């Protein structure tokens, strides 16, 4: 059975942010992730992680908040200085929070110039943080119009070209199903590259149950593959978070 983590940017939002850590633990999660933790004091978050014995799985490189604005700058030509400043800010937070992974967001861009900028910035970031696992994640164009990294084959090519041992694939089953219409096939082809997995139901990005994905089959495939990382719940609950956690109990048998 996979090990499940809770994305506190999406889950338990009925609670103030710092109370979500305890709620996640009480609901049966042993790890959490936060997309953009930069609006909160890192030491306060670290205290909650320690208090509730939670692993911290992942944070994204800035932008600084989830409310709006750009979704990263790694592939945006001319934004190298902004990317590097933001990446160093991310590393300062990571020094306190100790995430297992940092997701390097590509941003909205396209074309060969953007690809070259992305490769340069990823190589720089991997060298800048050699002891940290960085991730890249293909996102579907419906949720993220214009996002540079929008295909799994493209992601595989980027990983091979960068060739850094501390760069891996962030496999989001929600985006994979929308992009390929075959999340099982996408996992079979690209799952060996995955260092982190996220889940949400399709359609709707709600609880991972029913819909277009055979969730028991997907979880079984993840187990069979030997993947040993976390599977993070990154979805919008249809009601309160705790009311919708039947999928977690079912996955655990």
Catalytic annotation, residues:
137, 234
Alpha-helical runs (H) found in 80-229: 80-97, 112-128, 152-162, 173-180, 183-190, 215-224
In which residue are the tokens 């979704």 written? 71
- Residues 57, 80: Cα–Cα separation, whole Å: 26
Q: In this structure, what token pair is assigned to residue 213?
A: 């994905």
Q: How many CB atoms lie within 10 A of CB 132?
A: 18
Beta bridge partners of 170: 196
Of 253, 243, 240, 224, which is closest to residue 12 (Cα–Cα)?
Answer: 240
Torsion, CA 59, CA 85, CA 147, CA 66, rounded to 10: 50
Q: Rounded CA gap, 251 and 253, in Å?
A: 5
Q: Which residues contact 83 (CB under 8 A, 6 or more apart)?
A: 61, 72, 73, 74, 76, 121
- Judge if the upstream peptide bond of residue 157 is cis by omega within 30 degrees of 0: no
Q: What is the CA radius of gyration of the chain?
A: 17
Phi, psi dihedral angles at 247 (to 5 degrees): -60, -35
């Amino acid at each position: 059975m996979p090990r499940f983590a809770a994305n506190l940017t999406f889950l338990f939002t009925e609670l103030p942010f710092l109370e979500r850590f305890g709620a996640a633990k009480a609901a049966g999660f042993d790890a959490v992730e936060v997309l953009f933790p930069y609006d909160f004091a890192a030491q306060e978050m670290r205290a909650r992680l320690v208090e509730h014995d939670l692993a911290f799985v992942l944070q994204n490189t800035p932008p600084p908040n989830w409310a709006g604005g750009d979704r990263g700058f790694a592939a945006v030509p001319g934004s190298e200085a902004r990317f590097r400043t933001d990446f160093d800010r991310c590393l300062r937070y990571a020094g306190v929070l100790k995430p297992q992974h940092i997701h390097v967001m590509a941003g909205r861009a396209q074309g060969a110039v953007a690809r070259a900028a992305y490769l340069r910035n990823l190589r720089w970031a991997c060298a800048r943080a050699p002891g940290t696992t960085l991730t890249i994640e293909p996102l579907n164009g419906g949720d993220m119009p214009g996002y540079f990294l929008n295909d799994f084959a493209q992601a595989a090519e980027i990983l091979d070209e960068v060739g850094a041992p501390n760069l891996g694939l962030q496999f989001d089953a929600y985006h994979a199903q929308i992009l390929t219409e075959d999340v099982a096939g996408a996992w079979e082809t690209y799952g060996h590259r995955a260092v982190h997995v996220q889940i949400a139901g399709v359609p709707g990005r709600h609880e991972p149950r029913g819909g277009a994905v055979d969730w028991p089959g997907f979880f079984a495939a993840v187990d069979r593959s030997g993947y040993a990382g976390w599977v993070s719940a990154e979805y919008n609950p249809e009601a309160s978070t705790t009311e919708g956690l039947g999928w977690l109990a079912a996955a655990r048998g």
